[in-house]
């Protein structure tokens, strides 16, 4: 049995952060119902590396965080759609939404309105800046939050200037924070018997992803400086050229740096490092950098990765995503799992699921990403609508 079996989640989210949140609940057993406007579905359905999938509203960007869900189309602006939503809320445990501003409140489904229907409902809102403060109603995407939060200024190098992190890390970090908040609220409800209102901010999530940097900045008033792949203090914590490519070395502690020098055959330097106080390591930055540079160019990145790892030194060849996916380490884990049904040409045979596994009841994919409105009739039947009523709802453009 998975942790959230028997839990129903209404997913009124789009793009990445919200759908990733509900995806994490789905792979843990929740019955997640993705609710989309029939005329304005999740925009990621049309984002894809294959135009054919985008045209079929089954884009690869959508697939990444929507497997395991059921999908219903619903026109919330219609009287009939409003009634359906009320019935869904009465049957649900969780509602997750990332509508901008008070758009959902205007449709009659804000927290106060939804909790009046179901007092046990966990109601989670995800927005760029949160529901309070002067920017509460301002729009945002991942890159906007990277810029606003200081993350972009802390990334890159002095020569290149502020550089955004390529993948939408803030979106996925926000989704993970929201999934944690919902999980905790469900546990809390088990004890209190009452629902909860959750306010998740992408900006707050960005700060959580930079916790150490934020703490340092609060302490001394100085923001982190962008230094790219070269640490300004520690020679063992940066990229180096090898015989055939880049190697990222992560020798952070004195012991790791000592092990690195020993693996390079520099026994005397290795012992000197062990005898040096941590705060004085940076004094030998140039000396250590020259030694490491000279040695690492003599072998390939793969050879050094293996040799240094065996010497208990964190290090990895700088890989592309496709190279990493093909490594046997990935095959040994459960993070990527088979897509339960490959429906169209170009749909990936595997999808990312979760970053952890349990001894029993692990996260898993039980159903493929849904097509638009795929389960509308099925779900409406479950909440009491007859086949005749469903047909009438289609004629009325309510679904």
Contact call for residues 33 and 10 (beta carbons, < 8 A):
yes
Q: Which residues of 51-84 are buried (b: 16+ CB within 10 A; e: fewer)?
A: eebbebbbbbbbbbbbbbbbbbbbbbeeebbbeb
Residues identified as active-site: 171
Q: Of 166, 144, 170, whose CA–CA distance to 155 is shortest? A: 166
- Please give the Cα distance from 13 to 9 (Å, whole number): 11
DSSP-derived pairing of the beta strands 31-36 and 70-73: parallel
Residue listed under structure tokens 């179901």? 118
- Please give the Cα distance from 329 to 49 (Å, whole number): 26
SS3 per-residue string spanning 337-384: EECCCCCCCCCCCEEECCCCCCCCCCCCCCCCCCCCCCCHHHHHHHCC
Contact call for residues 384 and 371 (beta carbons, < 8 A):
no
- Please give the Cα distance from 24 to 94 (Å, whole number): 13
The token pair that represents 248 in the structure block: 């990222």
- Please give the Cα distance from 146 to 169 (Å, whole number): 9
- Please give the Cα distance from 198 to 208 (Å, whole number): 17
Q: Which residues of 161-195 are buried (b: 16+ CB within 10 A; e: fewer)?
A: eeebbeebbbbbbbbbbbbebbbebbeebeeeeeb
- Please give the Cα distance from 360 to 366 (Å, whole number): 15
Residue listed under structure tokens 């509460």? 136
């Amino acid at each position: 049995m998975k942790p959230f079996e028997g839990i129903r989640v209404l997913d009124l989210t789009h793009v990445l952060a919200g759908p990733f949140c509900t995806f994490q609940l789905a792979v843990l057993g929740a019955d997640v119902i993705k609710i989309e406007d029939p005329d304005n579905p999740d925009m990621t359905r049309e984002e894809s590396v294959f135009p054919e999938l985008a045209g079929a509203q089954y884009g690869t960007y959508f697939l990444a965080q929507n497997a395991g869900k059921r999908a219903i189309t619903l026109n919330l602006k219609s009287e009939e759609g409003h009634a359906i939503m009320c019935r869904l809320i009465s049957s649900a445990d969780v509602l997750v939404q990332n509508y901008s501003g008070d758009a959902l409140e205007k449709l009659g489904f804000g927290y106060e309105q939804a909790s009046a229907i179901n007092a046990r409902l966990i109601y989670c809102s995800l927005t760029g800046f949160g529901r309070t403060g002067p920017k509460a109603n301002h729009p945002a995407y991942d890159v906007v939050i990277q810029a606003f939060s200081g993350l972009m200024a802390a990334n890159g190098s002095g020569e290149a200037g502020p550089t955004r992190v390529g993948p939408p890390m803030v979106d996925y970090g926000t989704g993970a924070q929201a999934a944690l908040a919902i999980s905790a609220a469900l546990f809390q409800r088990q004890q209190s018997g009452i629902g909860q209102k959750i306010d998740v901010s992408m900006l707050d999530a960005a700060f959580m992803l930079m916790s150490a940097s934020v703490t340092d900045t609060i302490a001394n008033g100085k923001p982190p400086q962008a230094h790219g792949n070269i640490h300004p203090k520690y020679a063992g914590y940066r990229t180096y050229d090898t015989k055939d490519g880049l190697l990222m070395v992560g020798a952070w502690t004195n012991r790791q740096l000592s092990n690195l020098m020993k693996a390079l055959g520099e026994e005397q330097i290795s012992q000197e490092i062990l005898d040096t106080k941590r705060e004085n390591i940076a004094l030998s930055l140039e000396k250590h950098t020259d030694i490491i540079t000279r040695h690492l160019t003599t072998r390939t990145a793969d050879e050094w990765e293996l040799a240094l790892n065996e010497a208990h030194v964190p290090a990895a060849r700088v890989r592309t995503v496709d190279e990493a996916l093909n490594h046997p380490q990935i095959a040994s884990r459960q993070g990527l799992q088979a897509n339960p049904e490959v429906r169209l040409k170009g749909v990936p045979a595997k999808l990312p699921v979760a970053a952890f596994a349990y001894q029993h009841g692990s996260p898993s994919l039980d159903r493929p990403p849904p097509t638009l409105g795929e389960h509308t009739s099925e779900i409406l039947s479950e909440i009491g609508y007859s086949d005749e009523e469903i047909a009438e709802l289609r004629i009325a453009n309510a679904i």
